[in-house]
Structure 1
């Protein structure tokens, strides 16, 4: 991957790639993909960047709605991260979901793009009530690693590092990252892509925090159940998605301004 000329970066995915948790819909979302685009531009390359991600999208929808547009842009770098919305739903089909990801890996790498993806951390340590989903997450990660290996896709193996489950990296909904979390993921991808100046410091542990009491922990879980999990389940029952009526925030390649 050359960094001494023009560089096109396209991000495909769901709310994580869109940047939910880093900013808001009024002031604008940033997120790890925007931050990675900044890191690419910091190498001296003239970067054009598009973000096709839309919150709530399943892996199948990312493939159906975003891949063709991404291929038309002929990216030099592409990130593909989807499947978490599938993992947390009933009726999850691991083979089908990772099959959609692998199809995207295959088509993008066939154009010569440098493609990168992520693994998802131990969900039970982020939201203890989701512990029954942990076997799915671990299996999903293994399948993604294998699919990426078959196509020469770079994996930022976030799940392999302890800091990935530090609650300061996660928003109150337990599903999306805080600005700090998004910045750490951008650092992980920059390191995996071996960008100049990138290193493993993204995985450094944060300062220790005081132990939380059992009562406080229980109260937080009850609050999360009522504030986030409950409404999410209601949307599923009604067949609705958080991304209904939404479009990509950056659907075309635009220059990345450097400081």
Structure 2
């Protein structure tokens, strides 16, 4: 018997950035791919996605997990921590406590919980090396809590896809369609659910190495606007993600067209 009620919680990666549906109505992402595959096995399958871009783990705990609990899922997937890593108030112990609390709460909500480590951004982003110790500390906390509470960990840190820019969008941070399909394949493997073998096959050819000009263009077009926005939000007391809402707050059936994706 397969899963019947699946809830995804977390940040922009769980929401589906940077993988828009063809009509650009909203983002798709790995959780939608997973839901589409699970729906093929269960006629009564339903899926909710409560993730909101920009949310830290402490916000996910307060804003998303109570709603997830009301849905009474048998499967919950938590993808978070990236915004904690990029926060100006980074503190490894504080984030470790948030990780522990979030994963513990998820295991009280659903019998099957999927968690994720982050991949190494230092190899694909100029100036990303300074984030390496933070990502390492976050991942250590996620691994420890996942073992402690019996969650199914999808460890993205060693995945070679982190070194291939084609798995990521223009900002080099959020996943492209190929990246989301790959994560979906990893999730389904951990759940022992079959899927299209192509989702985990390496992309054909060799990825081009970004030129200095491309790096500079990326910095001015992707990094600077985000930094300015974050500074402005901090000055006026706003948090990243304020004003955005979950794309799929209710447990709904997955239509046949969605299942095919």
Alignment partner of 2:72 out of 52, 71, 74 = 74
TM-score by length of 2: 0.89
Contact 1:15 1:56 in 2 (8 A): yes
Q: In the TM superposition, what is the alpha-carbon distance from 1:45 to its structure 2 partner? A: 5.1
Matched, 1:17 2:18: no
- Residues 191 and 200, structure 1, Cα contact 8 Å, conserved in 2: no
Please list, as runs of the form range in 1=range in 2, the aligned pairs for 1:1-259 lying within 5 A after superposition.
2-3=1-2, 7-23=4-20, 26-44=24-42, 46-195=44-193, 197-198=194-195, 202-209=199-206, 212=209, 217-238=211-232, 239=234, 240-258=238-256
Distance 1:21 1:211, change over 3 A: closer
What TM-score results when the alignment is normalised by the length of structure 1? Answer: 0.90
Counterparts of 2:56 and 2:108, CA distance in 1: 23
- Partner SS for 1:23: coil
- Deviation for aligned residue 1:258: 2.9
Residues 247 and 141 of structure 1: is their aligned pair in 2 closer, same or farther, counting only changes over 3 Å? same
Long gaps (5+) in structure 2:
none
CA contact (8 A) 2:11 2:80 kept: yes
Structure 1: gaps spanning 5 or more residues: none
Q: Is the 8 A contact 1:12 1:66 kept in 2?
A: yes
Q: How many residues align?
A: 252
RMSD: 2.0
